[in-house]
């Protein structure tokens, strides 16, 4: 079977590997759609937040069809459409454990969830990134239509925050310098856009909010300067949720605002424990993140998908697809 492998030193290949075998509590899956994420680039280049070793098959944002089940598997049968969680105890699927960018791959039954019938394979592979954005809105304490939220950064996670917040009735303002991504945010429900690089961004927000600024700020850019600016854009008693990742950067910040504006500041990692809730939300809200997928490649051309992510800054989400069945 074909699989995309990261080999070390930023090298990768589409390799021919033996068909994997399953244990009693495992499920053999045929990949249908697999998203490439910024953290896959970190993995390719040898940086990741937990230890791992090359060669590794990436792919933690995926949808797949069940091909075979182990003797002890009770919740799934061949033909089922599924998605799966990627943070499994101390291990990360698609990082420290081989992932889904392969014609066939193995997962434990306990990691899997049924993909609702209404969701396509493409939408299924967007459940993982959306679950992170959705989780940010869950952690924003009683987020509802009374809130004006500023979302800093319209990458895949920020766009998921925009869609989830807008579906909850929130007035969403997106702060994103790239006009294409800002337009995508508007198509997903953002009412207004701000250029966060403008010198008068605070005054612009005052105009949009009658001087109140944001009730909620979601920091989804992972840029230290934006992490600092989130404090400035927050109104009195605002809730701030930090989801963008930065390791080791720094920026000057007016920290006194945490006290003087009575801010609630919270950081979150991933989407622990909210997958069933995320899938119910997606199935009922009609939120459709498939416009995020700016190109897709067959697994045999997965190298082109990696290059598109590395070279083409206009890409938002690149997918690898497969229709293989054993």
CB of 39 to Zn ion, least distance (A): 5
How does DSSP classify residue 292?
G
Residue 320 touches Zn ion, criterion: CB under 5 A: no
DSSP-assigned letters across all residues of 215-243: EEEEE-S--HHHHHHHHHHEEEEEEEEE-
- The token pair at 45 is 């280049």
Residue nearest to Zn ion (CB): 37
CB of 85 to Zn ion, least distance (A): 12
Residue 292 touches Zn ion, criterion: CB under 5 A: no
Determine the size of the site formed for Zn ion (CB under 5 A): 1
Residue 214 touches Zn ion, criterion: CB under 5 A: no
* For Zn ion, the closer CB: 112 or 194: 112
Residue 154 touches Zn ion, criterion: CB under 5 A: no
Cα separation, 75 vs 93, in Å, equals 20
* For Zn ion, the closer CB: 162 or 231: 162
DSSP-assigned letters across all residues of 54-123: SSB----EEEEEEEEE-TT--S--TT-EEEE-SEETTEEBTTTB--S-BSEEEEEGGGEEEPPTTS-HHH
CA separation (Å) from 141 to 64, 188, 264?
A: 33, 22, 10
CB of 232 to Zn ion, least distance (A): 29
* For Zn ion, the closer CB: 70 or 270: 270
By rule CB under 5 A, what string of x and - marks binding of each residue 29-58 to Zn ion?
--------x---------------------
HSE toward the beta carbon, residue 238, CA cutoff 13 A: 25
* For Zn ion, the closer CB: 37 or 152: 37
Residue from 122, 107, 117, 120 nearest 66 by CA: 107
CB of 207 to Zn ion, least distance (A): 35
Cα separation, 273 vs 290, in Å, equals 23
CB of 133 to Zn ion, least distance (A): 11
* For Zn ion, the closer CB: 171 or 317: 317
* For Zn ion, the closer CB: 37 or 106: 37
Residue 104 touches Zn ion, criterion: CB under 5 A: no
CB of 46 to Zn ion, least distance (A): 17
For residue 292, count other CB atoms closer than 10 A to its CB.
25
* For Zn ion, the closer CB: 37 or 192: 37
The verdict on whether omega for the bond into residue 55 sits within 30 degrees of 0, i.e. cis, is yes
Residues that bind Zn ion (CB under 5 A): 37
């Amino acid at each position: 079977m074909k699989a995309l492998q990261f080999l070390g030193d930023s090298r990768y290949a589409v390799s021919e590997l033996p068909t994997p075998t399953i244990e009693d509590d495992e499920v053999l899956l045929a990949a249908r759609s697999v998203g490439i994420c910024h953290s896959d680039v970190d993995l390719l280049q040898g940086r990741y937040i937990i230890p791992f070793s090359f060669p590794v098959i990436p792919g933690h944002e995926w949808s797949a069809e069940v091909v075979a089940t182990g003797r002890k598997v009770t919740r799934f049968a061949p033909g089922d459409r599924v998605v799966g969680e990627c943070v499994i105890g101390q291990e990360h699927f698609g990082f420290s454990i081989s992932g889904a960018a392969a014609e066939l791959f193995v997962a434990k039954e306990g990691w899997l969830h049924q993909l609702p019938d209404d969701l396509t394979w493409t939408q299924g592979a967007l459940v993982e990134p959306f679950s992170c954005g959705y989780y940010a809105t869950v952690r924003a304490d009683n987020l509802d239509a009374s809130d004006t939220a500023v979302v800093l950064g319209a990458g895949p996670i920020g766009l998921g925050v925009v869609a989830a917040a807008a579906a909850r009735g929130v007035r969403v303002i997106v702060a994103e310098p790239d006009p294409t991504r800002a337009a995508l945010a508007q198509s997903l429900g953002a009412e207004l856009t701000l250029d966060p690089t403008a010198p008068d961004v605070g005054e612009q927000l005052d105009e949009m909010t009658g001087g109140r600024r944001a009730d909620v700020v979601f920091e989804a850019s992972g840029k230290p300067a934006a992490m600092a600016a989130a404090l400035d854009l927050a109104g009195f008693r605002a809730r701030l949720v930090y989801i963008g990742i930065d390791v080791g950067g720094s920026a000057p910040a007016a920290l006194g605002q945490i006290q003087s504006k009575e801010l609630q500041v919270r950081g979150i990692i991933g989407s622990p424990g909210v997958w069933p809730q995320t899938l119910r939300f997606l199935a009922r809200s009609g939120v459709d993140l498939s416009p995020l997928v700016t190109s897709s490649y067959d697994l045999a051309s997965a190298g082109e998908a990696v290059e598109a992510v590395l070279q083409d800054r206009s890409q938002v989400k690149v997918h690898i697809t497969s229709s293989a069945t054993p």
